[in-house]
Amino acid sequence: MPTGAFYTGKYPNLFTELGISQDKIDEKIKDTFNRMFFDMEEKIYFEIGNEGNDMGYMLDTGNNDARTEGMSYGMMMAVQMDRKDIFDRLWLFSKTYMYQSSGKYQGYFAWSVGLDGTKNAEGPAPDGEEYFAMALFFAGKRWGDRERPFDYSIQARDILRHCIHQAELVEGGEPMWDRNNHYIKFVPETPFSDPSYHLPHFYELFALLADEQDRPFWQKAAEASRSYLHISCDKGTGMAPEYAEFDGTPKKLFHEGQFYSDAYRVAMNIGLDAAWFHKDESLGEIVDDLQAFFSERTVLGEYYSYTVQGEPLGEPAMHPVAIIAANAAGSLAAKGKYRLQWVRDFWELPLRKGVRRYYDNCLYFFCLLMLAGEYRIY
């Protein structure tokens, strides 16, 4: 019988294993959220609109745009923190400026828009859609469905319907998941994947909440994604490539670095899957290898772009805080000797400041919630 919180209702709190009090944990979560959303110098959330600032966006501070990645992340943060006001602003911005109402991408969301809502691209990024859907389902459970577009669960089902049935729904459309192997694609048109997009813990819930006829697909997707993580992560270092072929082979796409920004998320995804469902204990061995590599072969925070075999490529990591946070969250699945040391290092790590703070701090907050047992299923 799986022992994850979905079955037991008990969410592991690794900070308490270090002897940190619940009051200090709660205070850190509240302070981190407030700094990311409201501190005038550090925030990445901004409100806009004509009727009492009825919309908001998450700013990618390194690229000066709003992305479905960040918008859906912000919605998930808001629903976890019970901030319906923030959630609704982010969702209204997404539906107003990112949603595609025509063409081959109808039903998807443009992955990047300017801060005035002008689309920078037409195509979607599937990690945005899966986070949108999960956050919307949770919102429906926490707050109840209302009038459009705040009929959260209905909106979530529509997103997932397009994700796997786009070819039937829209002329010239391509689905975000491969219908044969059940893998999520990097973008709809590509016959390869991004390991960090694989969220089996989300798919387990989609298998209960999506259109009834699609629920078997999502259950198979959960199983396939766990298997894919095994074949795409290096057997020695535990590193996942940023992009990978369907057979797990690393794919060099935009740069030489294989273990690069997207790939950092794999460890935290494995950790959350273990915390929620714990259906594949052996995934924790990937995190054990990853933590051992960084603990034994690097200096904390002085990281680079690497091949998946762990060879540094000379380019400093753009998001070192994200590496520490995600490796620590992987401790929810790990059993190795470095497991609690990573949690301790993360606890002592401050939020990132400056122009590249967006990605690091998004992962930071998610990992903080995970390790505190406060990233909940609704």
Which domains occur in the chain, in start order? 1-43+231-378 (1.50.10.10), 44-176 (1.50.10.10)
Q: What pLDDT is stored for residue 239 in this prediction?
A: 98
Cα separation values, 277 from 8, 137, 188, Å:
10, 18, 28
pLDDT at residue 104, as a whole number = 98
Dump pLDDT digits (tens) for 121-178: 999 999 999 999 999 999 999 999 999 999 999 999 999 999 999 999 999 999 999 9
Per-residue pLDDT, 122 = 96
pLDDT at 175: 98
How many other C-beta atoms lie within 10 A of the C-beta of residue 363?
A: 24
List strand residue ranges (DSSP E) for the chain, in order.
45-48, 55-58, 66-67, 112-113, 192-193, 244-245, 304-306, 312-316
Return the closest-CA partner of residue 311 out of 301, 297, 291: 297
What are the structure tokens assigned to 83, written together?
Answer: 């901030």
Predicted pLDDT of residue 52: 72
- State residue 67's pLDDT score: 98
HSE on the CB side for 126, CA within 13 Å?
26
pLDDT at 334: 98
Question: So what's the pLDDT on residue 2?
Answer: 79
Helix, strand or coil, per DSSP, at residue 188 = coil
**Contact status, residue 81 vs residue 375, Cβ threshold 8 Å:** no
| pLDDT computed for residue 283 by the predictor | 98
Q: Which residues are catalytic?
A: 69, 262
pTM attached to this predicted model: 0.97
Low-confidence ranges of the chain (pLDDT < 50): none
What per-residue confidence (pLDDT) applies to 135?
Answer: 99
b/e per residue 195-216 (b: at least 16 CB within 10 A): bbbbbbbbbbbbbebbeeebee
Residues 6 or more apart whose Cβ sits within 8 Å of residue 285: 238
